Amino acid sequence: MEKLIVKNLSKEFTVHTRGGLKINGYDNINFELNRGEFLSLFGPSGLGKSSVLKALFRTYTTTGGEILFYKEDGGSIDIASASESEILGLRKSSIGYVSQFLQVLPRISAVDIVAQPLIEKGESESVAQIKAKEMLSFLNIKEELFDISPLTFSGGEQQRVNIAKGIIAPKPLLLLDEPTASLDSKNTNKVIDKLLEIKKQGVSMVGIFHDVDCMKRISDKVFDMKEKKYANNY
């Protein structure tokens, strides 16, 4: 990704089970992200941070505005108005999304879950396994847990498996919704170290953090969802 430009983005939710009740999600969102930059969405609960992130991945549609994704080859695509098949293609090649909670199928081991994105990228099974184990060890997952399903892991362990899976073969744009919410400070720092590393490699990221220190360490820009502008002091 060369650049992402979000222009006048707005969302009004319509709740069909309540006779079409309208709920304001967010409006007047404008920001830009360059290659290798980290932008944080900042503001109190309920202001639409997660909803904006979902709009960038197009899990949610929008009611107004544009999300212009400029590719490295010069082409561009408006995520807000692109067709479903264009979106599927763009996600496959270019956009990763790390949700707050791990969603996995039962009976697949932690290592296999983390190795999967590497295998999809063409890495051999054996190399992918080695790299997945390295990533899990780096994030302080005990070796005895590697071969079991993370469904019985603690909240923080599950979150680390989720992050490991999200960043082991990062796509050019990575979206992170509170990736460190259930982690202690030591593991939070480990995750931030990894994010800084992939940022240096040119991965662009949009993230949400509860912890302001964390946000300061990683962010190049902070968009204040309340003031509807970049924050200078945060």
Ligand X SMILES: Nc1ncnc2c1ncn2[C@@H]1O[C@H](COP(=O)(O)OP(=O)(O)OP(=O)(O)O)[C@@H](O)[C@H]1O
Chain-centroid distance of CA 15 in Å reads 26
**Interaction with Mg ion in 12-51: which residues (CB under 5 A)?**
49-50
CB of 50 or CB of 158, closer to ligand X: 50
Which among Mg ion, ligand X, none contacts residue 45 (Cβ within 5 to 8 A by kind)?
A: ligand X
| CB of residue 49 to ligand X, shortest distance in Å | 3
CA torsion sign for 224, 225, 227, 228 is positive
Half-sphere exposure of 72 (CA within 13 A, CB side): 11
| CB of residue 98 to ligand X, shortest distance in Å | 14
User: What residues does 28 pair with on adjacent strands?
Assistant: none
One-letter amino acid identity for 34? Answer: N
- Three state DSSP letters for 174-215: EEEECCCCCCCHHHHHHHHHHHHHHHHCCCEEEEECCCHHHH
CB of 23 or CB of 196, closer to ligand X: 23
Per-residue string for binding with ligand X, 37-76, x by CB under 6 A?
--------xxxxxxx-------------------------
CB of 16 or CB of 186, closer to ligand X: 16
Per-residue string for binding with ligand X, 156-195, x by CB under 6 A?
----------------------------------------
CB of 49 or CB of 199, closer to ligand X: 49
Among 8, 12, 22, 23, binds ligand X (CB under 6 A): 23
Which residues, 6 or more positions from 187, have their beta carbon under 8 angstroms from its beta carbon?
Answer: 139, 140, 156, 160, 180
> Which residue's structure tokens are 């040119």?
202
CB of 13 or CB of 230, closer to ligand X: 13
Cα 129 to Cα 105, 115, 147, 156: the distances in Å are 18, 6, 11, 22
**Interaction with ligand X in 1-20: which residues (CB under 6 A)?**
13, 15
Among 1, 4, 25, 183, binds ligand X (CB under 6 A): 25
Contacting residues toward ligand X, per CB under 6 A: 13, 15, 23, 25, 45-51
